[in-house]
Amino acid sequence: MPAHILVGTQWGDEGKGRIADWLASQADIVARYAGGDNAGHTVRVGDETYKLHLVPSGVLHPGVKCIMGAGMVINPLTLASELRALAAQRVDISPNRIQLSTRAHLITPVHRAIDAAREAQRGQRAIGTTMRGIGPAYVDRTAREGLRAGEMENPDIFARRMRARLEAGNQLLADVYQAEPVPLDSALAELCEAASFLAPYLGDSSLTINEALEADKTVICEGAQGTLLDIDHGGYPYVTSSSTIAGGALTGLGFGPRYVDRVIGVAKAFTTRVGSGPMPTELHDEAGARLRGTGANPWDEFGTTTGRPRRTGWLDGVMVRYAARINGLTELVITKMDVLSSFVDLKIAEAYQLNGQMVRHMPSELDDFAACEPVYETVPGWPEDITGVRTFDSLPGAARRYIERIEALVNVPVSLITVGPARDQSIQRR
Ligand code: IMP
């Protein structure tokens, strides 16, 4: 009956999709619990590249059931085209293995337009959202005015209610933001087409998951974004609008904590961030550019969803320790270790300096967080290429010590290390 929860420990883009793909090979169900098509990752299997934004990574493992849970916000147009693209790549997308919770909320083109209008209005204080309409859709959910996926079951009712939501959103766009309305008839026609395509996928996913857990099946709860983007415990207001942390898996999928046996945190071996907001270990020098890469490789640090270059910096041990606390991590996965090869020295922030004081915990106030200066510990790098290494003992001594230092700082064991983009480029530790 185990549920394993997989979360990001930084600002997203830690490589969770790849780890979910790996865990899926031993699972029965992979379920996404929060967010929407603001997330994105690329999985390479052999010569084929798959781009996923909404469908859980388990879809690439035949026999694994994939669920999009109630905590998600779903753009029907994106989901329909993602499923069609997977089908074109000969992935089995039959409704008996893919389920969309009737309780998930829907994103409309009007939500996207409001997202853009709000960002424009924020000016200098813009969050740097992905413009996918995520925030406005969660606003409607909390205001109890949203449309849920279950509405797609009945085409006539769906068309009527969707029209009313689009009209109300257009009114808001005009009155509050003086922005262009979304063309109503064409948007509605597209949404209705997508709704009829998606209707067979609808189901009560809390029931599906609880029945599976009762039957001793293994469920992977796949988080999106990262702990620092969590609506409650992230760096508010520079966050996304959902519960990205382990607790969000329970509310977003509708099952209880007694089933959870592993909480796996994924941390990149350094730090990246897209969007605005403070980032204590950010680098603006040649080292930062080296961590980012040029964009020539698919694994370089450029957003999968928006293509934006990511901000880069040294590993922030204070942040990963915070993520260990907020999520109750039982283990850590360190990704992209190979990118650190050939730096002479590496730095890890072990604490912050705030107003002349040394602090070891993330401050809860944004102004304090913005004023934090990292206190670095410098550790030796390693010149060797480690992309071919498959056991911990064969790693260069400095790389082993880097991992052991993270374990000591965060007080959580590292169970897996990735050393390259391919499925087998990883070191399983325990
Ligand atoms: P939103 O989720 O589009 O509203 O964006 C809010 C913030 O979260 C922005 O800083 C985005 O860059 C960030 N964000 C959202 N999704 C992701 C993701 O999958 N990876 C990294 N950052 C993300």
Task: Characterize 386-397 residue by residue with b for buried, 16 or more Cβ atoms within 10 angstroms of its Cβ, and e for exposed.
Answer: beebeebeebbe
Give catalytic status of residue 140 as yes or no: no
Contact residues of ligand 1, CB 6 A cut-off: 11-13, 38-39, 127-130, 132, 134-135, 224-225, 229, 238, 240-241, 274-275
Alpha-carbon distance 199 to 335, whole Å? 37
- 96's enclosing H/E stretch is none
Alpha-carbon distance 411 to 392, whole Å? 19
Choose one of 42, 78, 240 to mutate for the ligand 1 pocket test, by most ligand atoms within 8 angstroms of C-beta.
240
**DSSP states of 215-277:** TT--EEEE--S-GGG-TTTSSTTSS-SS--SHHHHHHHHT--GGGEEEEEEEEESSEEE-SSS
Contact, 85 vs 142, CB < 8 A?
no
Per-residue pLDDT tens listing for the chain (430 residues):
599 999 999 999 999 988 998 899 999 999 999 999 999 888 878 888 888 999 998 999 999 999 999 999 999 999 999 999 999 999 999 999 999 999 999 999 999 999 999 999 999 999 999 999 999 999 999 999 999 999 999 999 999 999 999 999 999 999 999 999 999 999 999 999 999 999 999 999 999 999 999 999 999 999 999 999 999 999 999 999 999 999 999 999 999 999 999 999 999 999 999 989 999 999 999 999 999 999 888 889 998 777 889 999 999 999 999 999 999 999 999 999 999 998 999 999 999 999 999 999 999 999 999 999 999 999 999 999 999 999 999 999 999 999 999 999 999 999 999 999 888 899 998 6
Pick the catalytic residue from 4, 41, 53, 105.
Answer: 41
Q: 306-311: long-range contacts (C-beta < 8 A, 24 or more apart)?
A: 306/130, 306/131, 306/274, 308/128, 308/274, 310/13, 310/272, 310/273, 310/274, 311/272, 311/273, 311/274, 311/279, 311/282
Q: What are phi and psi of 278, to 5 degrees?
A: -65, 150
Contact, 313 vs 290, CB < 8 A?
no
Choose one of 129, 227, 271, 335 to mutate for the ligand 1 pocket test, by most ligand atoms within 8 angstroms of C-beta.
129
